Amino acid sequence: MARQLRFNGMGSGGTGWSSVYEDAASGEVIVHGPPLTDVDDIAQLQHLSEGEVAVVVPRELLVDWTPKGATRQARILDLDEFEGLFRTFSHSAWRLETRRRFASDEATDTYRQFVETGSVDWSVEDPYCELIRSQTEQGKRVERVRIVDQPPTTGQLYLLNNAKRNSGLGEDIRNLWRVDADRLQLPAEDVWLFDSRLAAKLRFDDDDHLVDVELITEPAEVVRYSVIRDAAWHHAVPYEKFAARLSDSE
């Protein structure tokens, strides 16, 4: 079975585009770079076994991008702590949504209304709306990129409809086709990035229920999510244009 490789980062250092990957399943680290070819150099390697290849990478690649603290324990937030992040961020909250459905959505009256009628009479007076509106009115940015399948799932169409309400709160919501997300090598993760300083990774069970939220503050991981954000945001389309294109193609 193929490894679940996650791109950590790259560095040139005059030796080509050397990179570090991490196997999401095993935790093993994969490094690639220009091969060591000089026979005198190879002769100095004491433990090079048959079938192994030596590569040359800049030192900063390993310093910056190899995983730190392999025994780090995940810090799990309860829902109150998670909500607190939306109250205390300083300038930006950005989300990547990659899921095809959310079980919590399907348990709501608004979801049933959407399935039955194709539209929703959204309320803008619930606590989430009040919180986000209070933050964006202070000039803070709340943004998200939603990945959409072709054809979209019912849950994705529901959230595209929901974007009208959240946009009215001051959120900037954009969409990206999954095929483009795969081309950009975006991870299949659901995560909030706050102030480019910490990340909150939402973790779901096999039935698409939210199980818990992991707080991530490790600098290399936060940088990785920042790189993901920049790539996704650059290629994503504002939800109004995305919805219009989707309607034109039907």
Q: Residue 13: its pLDDT value, please?
A: 52
pLDDT, tens digit, for every residue of 26-39? 878 888 888 888 88
pLDDT, tens digit, for every residue of 108-166? 999 999 999 999 999 999 999 999 999 999 999 999 999 999 999 999 999 999 999 99
Residue 14 has pLDDT above 50, yes or no: no
pLDDT, tens digit, for every residue of 41-60? 888 888 788 888 988 888 88
Q: Which of 28-32, 120-124, 183-187, 213-217 has the lowest mean pLDDT?
A: 28-32
- The residue among 9 and 157 whose pLDDT is bigger is 157
Region at 189 (left for phi over 0; alpha for psi -120 to 50; beta for the rest): beta
**Separation between Cα atoms, residue 191 and residue 193, nearest integer Å:** 7
pLDDT, tens digit, for every residue of 65-112? 777 665 556 799 998 999 999 999 999 999 999 999 999 999 999 999
For residue 196 the two structure tokens come to 């480019």
